Amino acid sequence: MALSSEKKQARKDHILDIAESLIRKNGATAFTMRELADAAKVSFATPFNLLGSKDDILQGLIDRSITENYKALKVESDPIGFFFSTTNSLVQKYIKDDVYFKVLLSSVSPSKEKFEIPINSWMIALDNFFQEGIISSEFDKQQIAEHLELIFVGSAVLWMSGYLDNKAWAAQYQYSIAAALIGFIKKRDAKEQVRDFLLDAEKTLVKLRKRKS
Q: What is the dihedral of CA 135, 139, 142, 147, to 10 degrees?
A: -90
Query: Among 30-39, 103-112, 119-128, which is the least confidently predicted range?
Result: 103-112
- Residue pLDDT, tens place only, 136-181: 889 999 999 999 999 999 999 999 999 999 999 999 999 999 999 9
Contacts of 142 (CB under 8 A, 6+ apart): 119, 123
For position 115, what pLDDT does the model report?
A: 76
**Entry pTM:** 0.87
**Distance spanning both ends of the chain, measured CA to CA:** 66
Inter-residue contact 9 to 16 (CB < 8 Å) = no
Bridge partners of residue 135, in order along the sequence: 185
- Burial class of residue 62 (count of CB atoms within 10 Å of its CB; 0-12, 13-18, 19+): middle
CB neighbours (10 Å) of residue 26?
12
Inter-residue contact 191 to 185 (CB < 8 Å) = yes
- Is 42 strand, coil or helix? coil
- Is 1 strand, coil or helix? coil
- Burial class of residue 204 (count of CB atoms within 10 Å of its CB; 0-12, 13-18, 19+): middle
For position 75, what pLDDT does the model report?
A: 67
Assess whether pLDDT exceeds 90 at residue 190.
yes
